[in-house]
Structure 1
């Protein structure tokens, strides 16, 4: 007999725990994303408890010699059928402007279990108290709490509870505004072919104690089973996620793609998805984004893109570091059908005779107008205690890779990176440069530090691409064809191929450090690891560190990948040639104001920066007249026009009173 909703209405009229047996029985019988997609979330929907044979065994990812698999598909995920006092798997949070947003991920619930989660906190000197409760969403089994009026100046233990016994505990950290150095961990690309704990990475991170965790994408490669993969990721990293603010953004593999050009919410129709848009149903895409990124601070421009796909680009300030969090896939144009195919795939170029300018066509988008507008406004706004700025996104604004997939597989250009389209890339980098901000990302499976060029070498901001956390899927190498350093190599570097180069898309980049894998088949030599970035607010310096996965930081190991650490000055994120100096500004009535400099002939905002102390002398990059605006958190209090540059020691000074 065919199971229909009409039949269910006859046989299951009772209500159970606020939800009808009808809806639950119907959900068990029908794939949650329709008959066309029976394999989406199959391990965590329907009668999932009867699918235990698919659960991983302790050695499911080992070969006969006990080595981790490096080929084939993902090994089996953890069992979803856990003891019922363990159904709250993990939780993670951010706080911004008095709003706490905390997400919890549960294992799948059974039909007779309530779908409600509760958030409890224990302020100093008080007992545990419940401050919120919320629905456990299906499919996905995620729960989300928003608490307004949150006091970010105090450490507060929390726990997420389900039923009588299940709970997950952590600590909501106070905003470390008093710390001189704020530390960010930069991570991405967590292979699902190597299952089990990430003990070595978590132990290192706990020893290094970063203030912010940034997971830049590909947290799981279980393309059609995001909830199972997300739970697996949570089991691996929950002991570091539980007690510090975490930024998590999905990348292509998280939403089930090998690569993603979101085309502002379009629908992909071809293998490889290079025509742009999303492969799977909108409900699945939104579920993935909700599970990974709902907890981020509220989006300043929350309108969904086409087909009602949600957005999450936003900003967050921790310890005085103001992060712009971007979606560098969602608005990007797909190459198939837009440019001639010049390689085995629409997104791979191997024709050495091609002209990079020929594929930088009008109408191609990278970040899109909405995010460009957001970046432009963010670069000039230092409210919320912002002292220094940083940009976070999934992938790099250049193609700093030569070998793809194997040490002999040379590729001229990869359109999956943010080096294409070049005009969109340059617009994004100009906005980032205005804030004197570095850019952090992952995705490439190859750790590099580059200095971007826009019009010329070195005039743009720095970018740090983290290595893959665990890379058993796709190796990449930096390996110039002539095996020679470029002009202006890094002095005394242990790496042979630093200096100025153009990537395969014609973008100027200066290579400062790279971490090539020695042997992609040996997990000890794959160059797996993570990045740490130290923002020193007093010295105005930023240090990029790159740590191998199997380093023993907790035991005193200080060995980073060769070529690291790399330390830069904050103002070096704007590398334009200085043509002169404006009068030194001497501030009365305020310390550490925001200063904006505008070139009058073009109306171009050169930069906006929070200065230190009561003196600042603006530098400029042309000989014409300039306007300087100042303010406490935005450049909105006073304006000085018609200022002409002079040699630094002849520019004089101006008193600025507040």
Structure 2
């Protein structure tokens, strides 16, 4: 990239300049193998992405709900862009409509830092998939900068790269998933509300499209529906089963699935197709700390991202998970559905079964200990760590247990929730088509983290309901809740959950009574509280909280994330001033980290959950600047003065 001296000077005011290589590092790609432009995934998979390959301009989608046409005016070929900016790196994916053979396979990124557009990057438009990927290092996240992605002389997509909202007291996240492709066209009600609520971060948890074998067309359809909110704020997109063309997904570390329904585990389509989907949806996420590919060369994207002092761990909760077929006895109409009322949940929690896998558990452990420039923590994944559903597909479709959730395998669930609890994080997800808020139980009811599953954005694929068989609340129901069935329950897998709120569809056949919509989650860094909102698709946010689903909003405190009952407290830690330090408590005998958290105020009394000896590490950014060893449960009068540099 050649830059005039004038442009170099302008760029130096925006970046901590390190030269062209520091500004833009190209994608680390090996030379692509020669592929057939009409069948890029091989002759056995001619239908994959068929609307965007070969002579695509001659093709027309069939069916009652076709995707948008791929042939558009040539000044509109840049469909949309998604981006993140984190720790000095801007990553952006531009999605283009398919290009004709005589059109340039190149996209350009321009920014406008102080009144004049400057080109800062050029990248190849990749085939298959028609996406271009920009990486800009030494990005100054303290400034808001307009951008535009250009193709040719006229086509462009414009937006704004927002500054990191570190100065905001409350960080707002939109939690969304399951965007039914059976309902085509715009999403005006959702878009209007989102623009009014102005989230700092968009989280699309999966099933952005249900086009299955036509991901490029479906992804473009999704982008057209949401680009007016995507263009001006960072977005996290994590593909799920339907995005990669499967009815269900147990990734099994990338192996090839051969059973209908995929319950044997693995991916049913070529790795090249899976990687294209992940590249289009998730390349723009911050780099993974553990990027090694899995079987068949399938890439990974699990990572973390900081927005305004809130640290988000982004998981791939299906990629390493074991498939049930051939590993556990079949006790229902299919390997992943259990309807035998006499079955023992312990009988399906077998040694060797995997949920997140060791790589992600290690990542979560390290992430939970690092509080540099972080006030609060949150874990994002595709689906819930429980089976908080009774009816599947219809109001009468009662199912005892569904293995297509993170409630199974139960040992893997426990390991994941322990790491989330250790980090004092809340969990957000989608996938289940039923909005719920639960307090997880690991060993006892309520001793685990909170989890919020957002409703389906558009719920025309598969309805679900929370409906206990005895139609009674559980013990410890939510006080003053308008919902009849809150309280402590076990799901069909034997997992303990405390139901706090749910949003059943009143009438799945009525478009306005399907209980679809989205979540808004507000992280208040000052009060260390999280407000969970749940908005119906056809609500009017201008009218206030009365428009939310019954049972919402809910407010939960970080202080209650770890629900274990304290048997006592260590000596009180006293700070010279309100430094809001990071405190970590370690059990001396086992070496187990009980928790790591940032505390507010000038004092903190660490709770512990068993007799014994403990070490407490304290620091401003990461625990360990000051340590107190071999502490025991103390009287209320005992205290320790903490002096931090």
Other-structure match for 2:66: 76
Query: 1 CA distance for matches of 2:146 and 2:632?
Result: 55
Tell whether the 8 Å contact from 1:551 to 1:557 is kept in structure 2 after alignment. no
Distance 1:655 1:249 in 2: 42
Aligned equivalent of 1:31, options 36, 39, 43: 39
Residue matched to 1:587: 575
Identify the residue that residue 417 of structure 2 maps to in structure 1: 429
Q: What's the counterpart of residue 574 of structure 1?
A: 562
Pair 1:54 & 2:61 matched: yes
2:99 equivalent to 1:109: yes
2:401 — aligned with what?
A: 413
Query: Quick one: distance in 2 between partners of 1:614 and 1:148?
Result: 38
Query: 1:40-51, aligned counterparts within 5 Å?
Result: 40-51=48-59
Structure 1 residue 555 displacement after superposition? 5.9
Question: How far 1:602 sits from its partner (Å)?
Answer: 2.0
How far off its partner does 1:638 sit? 2.0
> How far is 1:573 from its partner?
1.1
Structure 1 CA distance, aligned partners of 2:477 and 2:357?
Answer: 34
1:477 equivalenced with 2:485 (yes/no): no
Mapped to 2, the partners of 1:588 and 1:338 lie a distance apart of 57
- Kindly state the Cα deviation for residue 48 of structure 1 after the two structures are TM-superposed: 0.4
Deviation track 1:535-556 (CA, whole Å, cap 9, x = no partner) reads 0111111111000000012466
Q: Which residue of 1 aligns with 2:183?
A: 194
SS where residue 358 of structure 1 aligns?
A: helix
Measure the CA separation in 1 of the matches of 2:320 and 2:220.
28
Give unmatched runs, 5+ long, in structure 1.
Answer: 1-22, 62-74
1:491 aligns with 2:479: yes
CA shift for structure 1 position 617: 1.7
- After TM superposition, the structure 1 stretch with the greater mean CA deviation from structure 2, 568-577 or 506-515, is 568-577
Q: Show CA shifts across 1:107-127 (max 9, x none).
A: 000011000000000003x30
3-state secondary structure, aligned to 1:247: strand
CA distance in structure 1 between the partners assigned to 2:611 and 2:402 by the alignment: 39
CA apart distance, 1:26: 7.3
Q: Is residue 97 from structure 1 mapped to residue 87 from structure 2 by the alignment?
A: yes
Kindly indicate whether the alpha-carbon contact (under 8 Å) linking 1:588 and 1:614 is maintained by their aligned counterparts in 2: yes
Note if contact 1:282-1:309 (Cα within 8 Å) is conserved in structure 2.
yes
Q: Using the alignment, how far apart are the partners of 1:317 and 1:431 within structure 2?
A: 18
- Cα distance change on mapping 1:25 and 1:114 into 2, 3 Å: farther
Kept in 1, the 8 Å contact 2:384–2:429? The answer is yes
Q: Secondary structure at the match of 1:264?
A: helix
Q: Is the 8 A contact 1:316 1:324 kept in 2?
A: yes
CA distance in 2, matches of 1:557, 1:477: 23
**Which position in structure 2 is the counterpart of 1:379?**
368
Cα distance change of structure 1 residues 271 and 583 upon mapping to structure 2, 3 Å threshold? same
- Contact 2:422-2:593 at 8 Å conserved across structures: yes
- The answer to whether residue 640 in structure 2 is matched with residue 632 in structure 1 is no
Q: Which residue of 2 aligns with 1:239?
A: 228
1:302 is aligned to 291
The Cα shift of 1:478 comes to 0.2
CA–CA separation in structure 1 for the residues paired with 2:598 and 2:516: 36
Q: Secondary structure at the match of 1:361?
A: coil
CA contact (8 A) 1:585 1:656 kept: no
Question: Offset at 1:592?
Answer: 1.8
What is the Cα deviation at residue 333 of structure 1?
0.3
Which of residues 235, 257, 274 in structure 1 aligns to 2:263?
A: 274
Question: Over residues 574-619 of structure 1, what are the superposed CA-to-partner deviations in whole Å (9 max), with x where a residue is unaligned?
Answer: 0000111111112348812211001222221110011224322211
Q: CA deviation at 1:657?
A: 4.0
Cross-structure match for 1:121: 111
1:351 alignment partner in structure 2: 340
1:12 matched to which residue of 2?
A: none
Match of 1:399 in 2: 387
Contact 2:578 2:600 in 1 (8 A): no
Deviation digits for residues 241-292 of structure 1, max 9, x if unmatched? 0000100000000000110000011110110000000000000000000000
| Residue from 522, 529, 536 that aligns with 1:541 | 529
Matched, 1:317 2:306: yes
Partner Cα distance (2:227, 2:194) in 1: 12
Determine if the alignment matches structure 1 residue 517 to structure 2 residue 524: no
CA distance in 1, matches of 2:295, 2:74: 40
* SS of residue matched to 1:232: helix
Contact kept, 8 Å, 1:449 with 1:514, in 2: the verdict is yes
Equivalent position SS for 1:371 = helix
Q: In 1, Cα distance between the equivalents of 2:93 and 2:192? A: 23
2:627 alignment partner, SS class: strand
- Map Cα deviations across residues 43-98 of structure 1 (whole Å, 9 max, x no partner): 000000001x327xxxx85xxxxxxxxxxxxx100010000000000001001110
Deviation at 1:315? 0.2
Return the alpha-carbon distance in structure 1 between the equivalents of residues 468 and 553 of structure 2: 22
Conserved? CA contact 2:80–2:227, under 8 Å: yes
The answer to whether the 8 Å contact 2:574/2:639 transfers is no
Shift of 1:646: 2.9
Q: What CA distance in whole angstroms lies between the structure 2 residues aligned with 1:272 and 1:553?
A: 39
Q: Structure 2 CA distance, aligned partners of 1:515 and 1:466?
A: 10
The separation in 1 between residues aligned to 2:90 and 2:335, in whole angstroms, is: 43
* Aligned twin of 1:220: 209
Q: What is the rounded CA distance, in whole Å, between the counterparts of 1:597 and 1:26 in structure 2?
A: 55
Q: Report the aligned-residue RMSD.
A: 1.5
Taking structure 1 as the reference length, the TM-score comes to 0.92
CA distance, structure 1, for counterparts of residue 522 and residue 49 of structure 2: 39
2:173–2:520 Cα contact (<8 Å) kept: yes
Aligned partner of 1:452 among 413, 435, 440:
440
Report if aligned partners of 1:92, 1:242 keep a CA contact under 8 Å in 2: yes
Q: Tell me if structure 2 keeps the 8 A contact 1:341–1:349.
A: yes
- Is contact 1:203–1:554 with CA below 8 Å preserved after alignment? no
